[in-house]
Amino acid sequence: MLAGARSSQSLVRGQLSLVSLIRMSLDPLLIVGSLVVITLALGERFDAPTLVLALIAFSLTFPGSLSLVANPWTHLKDILVSWGVIVLILLFFGYATKFLWVFDPVVLLAWVGFVPVVLYVAHRAAPLVLPKILEMEGYRSAVIVGVTETGRRLADQFDRSRFLGVRVMGFFDDRSPQRLGELPGPGLKGRLADLPAFVKAQRVEAVFIALPMASQPRILKLLDEMRDTTSSIYFVPDMFMTDLIQARMDDVNGIPVVAVCESPFYGVNGLVKRLEDLVLAALILVLIAPLLAAIAIGVRLDSPGPVIFRQRRYGLDGREIIVYKFRTMRVMEDGVQVAQAVRGDPRVTRFGAFLRRTSLDELPQFVNVLQGRMSIVGPRPHAVAHNETYRKLIKGYMVRHKVKPGITGLAQVSGARGETDTIEKMQRRIEYDIEYLRNWSLRLDLAIILRTIPVALKGDRNAY
């Protein structure tokens, strides 16, 4: 929706279309335009500092990606969170450089409040306006080779996402219509041998090959026959129908490879993530030092035993790490079997119950972040005993260990924390963890950190 969002339409159009240009520039232009309108409406001059602010806001939000969430309240929440992160970044740099004091606070407050309204109205109106623009520009004609599950899903995406600017003319497959069953859209146009003639006669602009990898000889033959056309050709691999995580194309000395399951913190992203952790963890530890001392005293007075509890957890790539927490129980379990805390658990101390409910017992883990064992945001680390149990029961469980574990995570701010007394509860938590890996961005990390604060202050009735 704002900066950092992926722009899928550029993958299929091959060139910058009018619609893709609108999708990338709409949010940044609306944000800058709102600043201009508010400044002039309140009788202020649009001077050099305001121009600099406009350029910074544009750079932070470009390229945007028009988000069309069906649920209006979810859509509004997404806009508020995304814009809130941008505002916090602007405030931080403005305060650090003293640039913030140059502006009239009334103008800034009006701008901050006006932008979400403008973005929401524009996004909700887009489904009515953009199809009209596409009709003027013209849809890109395409055919899909292979009535496979992947081919059907691709056709469905093109049909539902008209902003991609692709109109599917039909399918080509060597199987009989009886074997293929009911087809979406314009249906079957012929066999693979009929494709080249159809493409030339109908001036088809794009061919999407959705045949399974086992059909390699047929694919090579088809590619050879398509050399006499001007169509763009795309291969849509089924990848054995695996669940792709951070999939990307790469090469090894010229040999193309496809990353099917990869860490999001590859290359520059890894550096950004580490800098984020170091800066925020150091700043937070300085700010909460008095709170840490007070909690340590409380743990010591509440029950006998050490203040800090050390437990083995799985970290990056499944390697064991030592995680620090304030002790909340009368026992120090870290063996082959570790029983999860349940409601009214007699092992939990009176002060420990408060710490667990407010997540204050997790604060020493900021030291783990500085050590490089953990990250501020990431999948929560589970006890080694729990990992060994659930990795056998939940498909893809260990994928969460492709990144460092976090103090907080998407699952924790989405209500999937506390006791996992059923496989379904743990499955839900893992789904959030994998969603985080699939969609990571610096903006998402900051949004999760912001959402963690009210969750911690409110307390969680599922944490005991």
Instruction: For residue 81, give both structure tokens.
Output: 């969170």
Same domain, 176 and 288: no
Residue 405 lies in a domain: yes
Q: Indicate whether 423 and 304 sit together in one domain.
A: yes
Name the nearest CA neighbour of 237 among 217, 266, 208, 262: 208
Q: What is the number of domains present in the chain?
A: 3
**Spatial separation of the C-alpha atoms in residues 251 and 36, rounded to whole Å:** 46
CA–CA gap between residue 383 and residue 339 (Å, rounded): 10
Task: Answer yes or no: do 48 and 94 share one domain.
Answer: yes
**Cβ–Cβ < 8 Å for 405, 315:** yes
Residue at which a domain ends, from 110, 137, 164: 137
* Bridge partner list, 214: none
Identify the domain containing residue 176 by its residue range: 140-241
- Reported as a single tens digit per residue, the pLDDT across 157-191 is 888 766 667 889 999 998 888 888 887 778 889 89
Kindly report the CATH number assigned to the domain that includes residue 186.
3.40.50.720
pLDDT of residue 153: 86
Question: What is residue 420's predicted lDDT score, i.e. its pLDDT?
Answer: 64
More confident residue, 279 or 247: 279
**In a domain? residue 258:** no
In-domain check, residue 263: no
In a domain, 144, yes or no: yes
Return d(Cα 29, Cα 13) in angstroms, integer: 23
The helix/strand/coil state of 193 is: helix
DSSP 349: -
Is the same domain home to 119 and 150? no
The pLDDT of residue 291: 92
Residue 2 lies in a domain: no
Same-domain pairing of 194 and 285: no
Do 29 and 62 lie in one domain? The reply is yes
Contact 410, 375 (CB under 8 A): no
Residues 306 and 454 in one domain: yes
In a domain? residue 464: no
Q: What local confidence, expressed as pLDDT, does residue 172 receive?
A: 93
Tell me which of 108, 137, 166 is where a domain ends. Answer: 137
pLDDT at residue 12, rounded to an integer: 42
Arithmetic mean of pLDDT, 250-270: 69
Full-model pTM: 0.60
Residue 190, H or E segment: strand 188-190
